[in-house]
Amino acid sequence: MSYHIDGSRNSCALHGALQLIEAIEGAVPVIHSNAGCGLQHYLGVNRLGPGTDPYGGPPVSSSNITEKHVVFGGSSRLREQLKNTVKVVEGELYFIVSGCSTEMVGDDIPAMTKEGLDQSFPVVYANTPGFRGAVHQGYELAAKALIEQLPSLSKDKPEQAENLVNIWGIIPHQDPFWAGNLEELGRLLEGIGLRPNLLVGYGHGPEDWRCVPDAVLNIVVSVWGEAPARLLEERYGTPFLVVEGLPVGPAAGRLLRAVTDLLGLDASRTERFVEAEEKRLDRQLSGLADTFYRAGFQREFALVGESSQVVGLGEFLTRSLGLLPRTLIVTDNPTDEARSVIKERLAALVEDWDAEVFFSEDHAEISDLVVSGGATLVLGSALEGKAAETLGVPFLPVSFPLADRVVIDRGYAGYRGVAALLEDLGSAILARPHQ
Amino acid sequence: MSYLKTKTPRIREKRLDTLNAWLGPAKSAVGEFAGDEAVQRIRTFSQSTNDDVLHALRILSRIENSVTVIHAPRGCAAGALYHKLALGQGNWLVTNLDQKDTIMGADRKLRKAVTSAHRTYRPEVLFILSSPVAAINNDDIQAVVDELQDELELPVIPVFVTGFASRNAVTGYDIVLHSILRQLVRGREAGERNGRVNLLSVTEHRADIQEITRLLTALGLELNILPDHATPGSFVQATGARLSLSLNQDAENYLGTVLRDEYGVPYQAPGRPVGIEATGQWLVAAGKAAGLEQAAAELHRQESARIGRELGDFSLSGVRVYLSLPPGMAFSVASLVEEFGGEIAGITVSHLDVLHKARLEDIASRHPSLQIHVADGQPFEELNILRRIGPDLYIGDGNHLGQVGRLGIPVVSLEHSRLLGYDGTLILCRRISVVLKNRSFGQRLASVALPYKESWLQRSPNWHIKKEVK
């Protein structure tokens, strides 16, 4: 049972699927739905996490069904659209995604996909009507479709790579810093001798997805990466490692050590690598110390974002920077089971200090919680700007949706991400001197 | 009361013979509207674009003291999230329909959302926006309206958009305006004559509205601006106004027409006040209708002298300009380009209908072979055309300017930008000067591949436009 939401920041399953597909270079989404579905996605998702639109505009193919198709069915319109997409749009993989109308009418998406395959089009599909869930479910559905359908698409497999590790759970755009976060996690894994398979972003195309079964490990960075990891364990026996939130600073070192342990890698190499990163971080923190004290960085903060962000950023802010969590709000609707784990982690961030932890995606409710919590620093999405304004405290937009920030390859994950976070957080605090 | 009897107005295709897919020379475009009914064409390949839901969200986000309940799955609210953050306007809830709701219906959920919206915002008016799912499911929105309107003691206005009934997104504007009038003023006597002038403004830039207000106030006119930033009272007041003045017929023609035909408010629809000359003509037409012709002409003399001084030697002589805009915008910006000595290289309009007949005839008489392309979005066709024409400047307001840039053409975006009146003209001309002076960004972008196949770009751009088989 779903409930109404005020100012929802989590768009629909179709849009979640599009977020993943658009981030795969050479993959072309073919939307089978109303004309507006793709543009809703462009306005309400791409434009609110700006700087990373691959096409220079909204998705390049959409069947734009009309009344006729709603009444008589739109399968033949999809057939025509797919055939012509392959002729018009450059791509290595065409990915049919369906919207609410065509699913309610009962168009046969698998049959149309099969017809395309019979004509040797490289095509896969996922049933992604918006009413099936939020972006997070859309990400899961699209990832599942790729895992299940790609192997039969092409006989010649790419050369098997050694020490390959897939990273799951970072949803493009829904994490506005997805590209930078993935690049940094990749850099760290390379540092301990692994070959990271980032799957999305610059230079990552369908070929990378075809290598997915060859991985020695699947790393799961948010609760939304668990479904693909479980599916891969089931199909290929690949083990997976669930990370407690986005690894920021020392948590990244912990991840590298755990992976080293699990895969039996050269432990002394990992230690040397992590120590070098930690030393660099020490230097950065000590260099910042004067400003840190002068501007009063140690505040009580409110943090609003997806579960992996709240856990990851929350841990760094409390355990490395000495801030106190006042109001923590998780917006991505994790399952009840996941909620209790997340709540436990967040409650234990600072000893003898009970942070208030909430799960909500309702803008009106979140604003009320942030304001009544009385934090002296707010980190959240652009939607929380007004609450910070009401409190009269510094505000740093870190989660989806963003409105006044351009993000290209900035990220807050890993060790490099710490510097970016300190720069942004410090600038926000300096722009509003201590009360 | 002929217009407001039905739940929704007739779709644009039926009401104004509106076309959304066409390509050809200006002289043939005129002929499309010569017969009884324009021949509709469809695309065998298409790209995502606006629909009536998105246009409705756009207009509703600007009604003051209102809240909109979007009766749909989450994704239909994405555009509303954009308006809320990019333009800082519009309160809304989404009923967040799930799979079960698509089978069982969701009237109860809607009722709860409306009550909650009312509790949170205490609005003056509440809208319920339908959606593809609600339309296919045939949810009884009207029953919820009837019940809650009395209970909550405020107007609850259902807006029956579908996302598929019309190929022309502007139908969404008609539906919103129709719904507001139907709920707020139908069956009432015309409001008390109040001597005000209705300034019909749909999704105009705030600063543009200020510029026009400045000019009309200088003439001594008292304005009732709607639907942008209007309250329910503005619509009631509109029925007793002395005159309705159009800023952009494409968007508000329905409002002007109904106020004229049902309440006897004269409707003046001169071209948009874009460029110095056209602003003068618009102002004089406005003045004339209000019996202030002399004052308007005098104001124009003063203002045009001021802008002329500020513009200095600005000229578009020798510059070939491509326009991709909604029709009323396109034709008015075309006049501005010609006013400064530029040449129109081609035009893409989001739709075309009988409202544009006179402008088309004028263009056809001067440039019979000028190519007119009718497409809302559809950059695959537009880029094909642009590669052939190779203009020196592109002015558009679409969502695909990032693709146009990859052709190395200097681009000026008119989305959310100032354009109207004397000050708007000045700002636009300055922006044009900058992009023409330094083309380095476009030159750099030109090395990025287009998302289309070369074989498509070699094909005739109207390849996928076909006559509809009924």
Q: What is the pLDDT of residues B329-360, one digit of tens each?
A: 999 999 999 999 999 999 999 999 999 999 99
CA-nearest residue to A134 within chain B is B74
Q: Considering CB atoms only, which of A13, A15, A64 is closest to B46?
A: A64
Torsion from C-alpha of A39, B62, A365, A356, nearest 10 degrees:
80
pLDDT of A435 > 60? The answer is no
Other beta carbons less than 10 A from residue A115's beta carbon: 17
Four-residue CA torsion sign, B134, A75, A30, B404: negative
Q: Which letter does DSSP use for residue B270 in this model?
A: P
pLDDT of A201 > 90? The answer is yes
Q: Considering CB atoms only, which of A9, A43, A90 is closest to B451?
A: A90
Same domain as B295, residue B208: yes
Mutate to test the interface with B, among A6, A32, A360, A368 (most CBs of B within 10 A): A6
Which helix (H) or strand (E) element contains residue A217? strand A217-220
CB contact under 8 A, B96 and A8: yes
Whether B320 is in a domain gets the answer yes
The pair of three-digit structure tokens given for residue A33, joined into one six-digit string: 């739905």
Which of B115, B139, B163 lies at the terminal end of a domain, its last residue?
Answer: B163
Q: What is the pLDDT of residues B121-131, one digit of tens each?
A: 999 999 999 99
Q: What's the angle, vertex CA B383, arms to CA B380 and CA B385, rounded to 5?
A: 110
Whether B317 is in a domain gets the answer yes
**A406 at interface of B, judged by CB pairs closer than 8 A:** no
Q: Of B391, B394, B331, B381, nearest to B22 (Cα)?
A: B381
Using CA atoms, how far apart are residues B279 and B435, in angstroms rounded to an integer? Answer: 24
> Could you tell me where the beta strands, DSSP code E, fall in B270-339?
320-325
Task: Give the pLDDT score at B245.
Answer: 96
Task: Give the pLDDT score at A51.
Answer: 65
pLDDT of A93 > 80? The answer is yes
Same domain as B295, residue B364: no
Q: What is the pLDDT of residues B55-98, one digit of tens each?
A: 999 999 999 999 999 999 999 999 999 999 988 888 999 999 99
CB contact under 8 A, B48 and A36: yes
Same domain as B284, residue B211: yes
Other beta carbons less than 10 A from residue B152's beta carbon: 17
Same domain as B245, residue B99: no
Using CA atoms, how far apart are residues A139 and A169, in angstroms rounded to an integer? Answer: 9
Which helix (H) or strand (E) element contains residue A87? helix A75-88
Q: Considering CB atoms only, which of A37, A88, A104 is closest to B48?
A: A37
Distance from CA of A27 to the nearest CA of B (A): 11
State what percent of residues in chain A have pLDDT above 90: 92
pLDDT of A53 > 90? The answer is no
A57 pLDDT tier (thresholds 50, 70, 90): confident
Mean pLDDT computed over every residue of chain A: 95
Q: What is the pLDDT of residues A71-82, one digit of tens each?
A: 999 999 999 999
CB A2 within 8 A of CB B16: no
State the amino acid at position B164 in one-letter form.
F
State the amino acid at position B407 in one-letter form.
L
In DSSP notation, A408-424 reads SS---SBTHHHHHHHHH
Task: Give the pLDDT score at A434.
Answer: 63
Task: Give the pLDDT score at A52.
Answer: 66
Same domain as B248, residue B147: no
Mean pLDDT computed over every residue of chain B: 95
**Averaged pLDDT for residues A76-93:** 97
Same domain as B348, residue B463: yes
Same domain as B223, residue B150: no
The pair of three-digit structure tokens given for residue B181, joined into one six-digit string: 């009038």
Residue A283 exposure: Cα atoms within 13 Å on the Cβ side: 8
CA-nearest residue to A16 within chain B is B75
CB contact under 8 A, A43 and B54: yes
Same domain as B324, residue B285: no
Task: Give the pLDDT score at B374.
Answer: 98
Same domain as B245, residue B136: no
**Averaged pLDDT for residues A114-143:** 98
For A296-430, which CATH class?
Answer: alpha beta
Mapping DSSP onto H, E and C, the string for B115-175 reads HHHHHHHCCCEEEEECCHHHHHHCCCHHHHHHHHHHHHCCCEEEECCCCCCCCCCCHHHHH
What are the Cα distances from residue B257, in Å, to A363, B33, B51, B199, B342?
A: 39, 20, 23, 14, 35
In DSSP notation, A302-314 reads EEEE-HHHHHHHH
Distance from CA of B182 to the nearest CA of A (A): 24
The domain containing residue B255 runs over which residues? 197-305
Using CA atoms, how far apart are residues A425 and A377, in angstroms rounded to an integer? Answer: 10
Other beta carbons less than 10 A from residue B206's beta carbon: 14
Q: Which letter does DSSP use for residue B399 in this model?
A: S
Same domain as B130, residue B87: yes
CB B378 within 8 A of CB B51: no
Instruction: State yes or no: cis peptide before A158, omega within 30 of 0.
Output: no
Q: What's the angle, vertex CA A245, arms to CA A239 and CA A250, rounded to 5?
A: 100
CB contact under 8 A, A101 and B96: no
Which of B241, B276, B305 lies at the terminal end of a domain, its last residue?
Answer: B305
Task: Give the pLDDT score at B469.
Answer: 74
ipTM over 0.90: yes
Looking only at the bridges linking them, the beta strands covering B22-25 and B66-70 are unpaired
Mutate to test the interface with B, among A88, A98, A121 (most CBs of B within 10 A): A88
CB contact under 8 A, A12 and B75: yes
Q: Of A373, A371, A309, A381, nearest to A346 (Cα)?
A: A309
pLDDT of B17 > 90? The answer is yes
Instruction: State yes or no: cis peptide before A401, omega within 30 of 0.
Output: yes
CB contact under 8 A, A11 and B81: yes
Q: Which residues of A touch B74 (CB under 8 A)?
A: 5, 8, 10-12, 130, 134
Buried b (16+ CB within 10 A) or exposed e, A337-376: ebbebbbebbeebbeeeebebbbbbbbbbbbebbbebebb
Whether B33 is in a domain gets the answer no
Same domain as B203, residue B151: no
Query: In which residue are the tokens 């499911």 written?
Result: B137
Same domain as B463, residue B334: yes
CB contact under 8 A, A39 and B50: yes
Count of structural domains within chain B: 3
State the amino acid at position A255 in one-letter form.
L
Delimit the CATH 3.40.50.1980 region(s) of chain A: 13-149, 164-269, 296-430
pLDDT of B189 > 90? The answer is no
Q: Of B178, B358, B370, nearest to B261 (Cα)?
A: B178
Which of B163, B187, B212 lies at the terminal end of a domain, its last residue?
Answer: B163
Whether B149 is in a domain gets the answer yes
Whether B188 is in a domain gets the answer no
Sequence length of chain A is 435
Q: Which residues of B touch A90 (CB under 8 A)?
A: 449-453
Looking only at the bridges linking them, the beta strands covering B320-325 and A377-380 are unpaired
Whether B222 is in a domain gets the answer yes
Q: Considering CB atoms only, which of A8, A56, A69 is closest to B406?
A: A56
Q: What's the angle, vertex CA B78, arms to CA A408 and CA B41, rounded to 5?
A: 105
**A260 at interface of B, judged by CB pairs closer than 8 A:** no
**Residue A152: helix, strand or coil by DSSP?**
coil
Q: Which letter does DSSP use for residue A160 in this model?
A: P
**A32 at interface of B, judged by CB pairs closer than 8 A:** no
Query: In which residue are the tokens 């045009």 written?
Result: B304
Distance from CA of A323 to the nearest CA of B (A): 29
Mutate to test the interface with B, among A1, A3, A4, A333 (most CBs of B within 10 A): A4
Using CA atoms, how far apart are residues A140 and A128, in angstroms rounded to an integer? Answer: 10
**A101 at interface of B, judged by CB pairs closer than 8 A:** yes
What are the Cα distances from residue A388, in Å, to A293, A356, A429, B74?
A: 22, 17, 12, 26
Using CA atoms, how far apart are residues B83 and B86, in angstroms rounded to an integer? Answer: 5
In DSSP notation, B30-82 reads HHTTTSSSPPPEEESS------HHHHHHHHHTTSTTEEEEE-S-GGGGHHHHH
Distance from CA of B387 to the nearest CA of A (A): 15
Distance from CA of B326 to the nearest CA of A (A): 17
**A66 at interface of B, judged by CB pairs closer than 8 A:** yes
pLDDT of B3 > 70? The answer is yes
CATH number at residue B457: 3.40.50.1980
State the amino acid at position A250 in one-letter form.
P
The pair of three-digit structure tokens given for residue B412, joined into one six-digit string: 């000026």
Among A residues 156-195, those touching chain B with beta carbons less than 8 Å apart? none
Radius of gyration of chain B (CA): 23
The domain made up of A164-269 has a fold known as Rossmann fold (3.40.50)
What are the Cα distances from residue B34, in Å, to A412, B4, B37, B353, B392?
A: 62, 28, 8, 11, 34
pLDDT of B442 > 80? The answer is yes
The CATH H-level superfamily of A13-149 is Nitrogenase molybdenum iron protein domain (3.40.50.1980)
Whether B142 is in a domain gets the answer yes
**Averaged pLDDT for residues A329-345:** 96
CB B111 within 8 A of CB B152: no
